[in-house]
Amino acid sequence: MSHHIKEVNTYIVEVPLVNEWKISLYSSKVRQHAIVEVVTEDGVKGYGEASPSPAFMGETAETIKLVNDQYLAPVITGLPLQSLSQIHRNMDQTIYGQSAAKSAIDIAIHDAWGKMENKPVYDLVGGLYREEIPLTYVIGMKSDEEAYEEAVKVMNLGFQTIKIKVGKDPVRDIRVVQSIRQAIKDNKKDVRIRLDGNQGYHVADAIKVIRELEETGDLKSVEQPIEKWNIFGLKEIRSAVKTPIMADELVFSIHDMTNIIKIGCADIVNLKICKVGGIHQAKKIAGMAEAAGMTCTIGSNLELGIGIAASMHVAASTPVIVNPSDFICGAYLHEHDIVQTPMWDLVEDGKIRVSNAAGLGVHLAEDLIK
């Protein structure tokens, strides 16, 4: 059998959201996704996905298709699937950045490789470390009442960690957190709270909000409270509060991870697979975090089933990913998925059970692509 890449095709899929999604960076009622199909010389097909938001990543589904078609596909066609180091080197030497475009290709290659070897992707990148992955449920920017009601629903589904989107208005943010704390108390649940600022605060406001919430209750962590470029500001916040600080938008590459470790500005790293260059690069960053005594989680960029499955395999095979992950987020925010069995069907009691099928273990509903 030939493991060599014959074709790389990129498709754009647009899927409406159940409700408007609001965070400090943007709001949206529909999402575009770039779906990559890698075909080997023997006809094996692997699928990858990137779900970029322009404000967050500087890429769109349209730019991903352009970059893949004109720059990346030509420099990896003909290479063996297993040559991930060479494939990434060729892509990086051809065009700077474009991590989402490279991620979608990387994921598709892993899917095809797993199918070729009749092995799940986790067996190709370290082996199965955990069979179930604890999940975090994300609540977008909502009113106090809406947040309370959604928190009750989430707790009844068995989720033990809730992430709240903040970063617009410190007074409102504190009020919403207290509302969710009240929901936890009223329902007598042992549920932890994370905050995600999505770069919305200034340093002083971030410190003020975190300190006030620390005094009145526990916070599991605070994710990317300020602009991604302000790495020293993040260190200032970390030094001023007790709550662990998580880096997200700050981490797009192994070089970003190097700076985080050298400067000491975070305790936790959010590995978004379609943000950091795919599975191959995510495993590198996870290793760096482990060596530095940090921990990881895997976040969501509102991926559909293919991207969710890629995150699941990385989490299943990587010991340092000890924090509950919210990569399932896109499964309940979109009106429908593009895989035959929705990833939400694998979720029970706030955890996702890892599939042991070949490749990513998902089957594309190809009629939705074509």
Percent of the chain with pLDDT over 90: 87
The reply to whether 49 falls in a domain is: yes
* Active-site residue, selected from the candidate residues 102, 142, 163, 165: 165
Domain housing 108: 5-119
Q: 217-266 pLDDT, tens per residue?
A: 889 999 999 999 999 999 999 999 999 999 999 999 999 999 999 999 99
Amino acid residing at 143: S
C-alpha–C-alpha distance, residues 310 and 93, integer Å: 25
The reply to whether 308 falls in a domain is: yes
The pLDDT-based confidence of 1 (bands split at 50, 70, 90) is: low
Q: 148-163 pLDDT, tens per residue?
A: 999 999 999 999 999 9
Contacts of 85-94 spanning 24+ positions with Cβ under 8 A: 85/280, 88/277, 88/278, 88/280, 88/281
Work out the end-to-end distance of the chain between its first and last CA atoms, rounded to an integer number of angstroms: 27
Q: Assess whether pLDDT exceeds 60 at residue 143.
A: yes
What is residue 2's predicted lDDT score, i.e. its pLDDT? 60
Looking at the structure, do residues 137 and 88 belong to the same domain, yes or no? Answer: no
What is residue 370's predicted lDDT score, i.e. its pLDDT? 62
Looking at the structure, do residues 277 and 327 belong to the same domain, yes or no? Answer: yes
Q: What is the rounded average pLDDT of the residues 202-209? A: 96
Q: 328-350 pLDDT, tens per residue?
A: 999 999 998 999 999 999 999 99
The reply to whether 365 falls in a domain is: no
Structure tokens at 158: 């068995």
Show which of 119, 151, 183 is a domain's final residue: 119
C-alpha–C-alpha distance, residues 4 and 7, integer Å: 9
Q: 29-65 pLDDT, tens per residue?
A: 889 999 999 999 999 999 999 998 888 888 999 999 9
Nearest to 19 by CA among 334, 345, 342: 334
272 is a catalytic site residue: yes
Structure tokens at 264: 């000491």
Q: Assess whether pLDDT exceeds 90 at residue 180.
A: yes
Q: 59-99 pLDDT, tens per residue?
A: 999 999 999 999 999 999 999 999 999 999 999 999 999 99
Q: 281-322 pLDDT, tens per residue?
A: 999 999 999 999 999 999 999 999 999 999 999 999 999 999
Q: What is the mean pLDDT of the chain?
A: 94
Q: What is the rounded average pLDDT of the residues 193-203? A: 95
What is residue 369's predicted lDDT score, i.e. its pLDDT? 65
Looking at the structure, do residues 81 and 48 belong to the same domain, yes or no? Answer: yes
Looking at the structure, do residues 104 and 213 belong to the same domain, yes or no? Answer: no
Total count of domains within the chain:
2
Show which of 100, 119, 138 is a domain's final residue: 119
Q: What is the pTM of this model?
A: 0.94
* Active-site residue, selected from the candidate residues 142, 220, 272, 283: 272
Looking at the structure, do residues 206 and 253 belong to the same domain, yes or no? Answer: yes
Chain centroid offset of residue 7 CA: 27
Amino acid residing at 324: P
Looking at the structure, do residues 98 and 143 belong to the same domain, yes or no? Answer: no
CATH number of 69's domain: 3.30.390.10
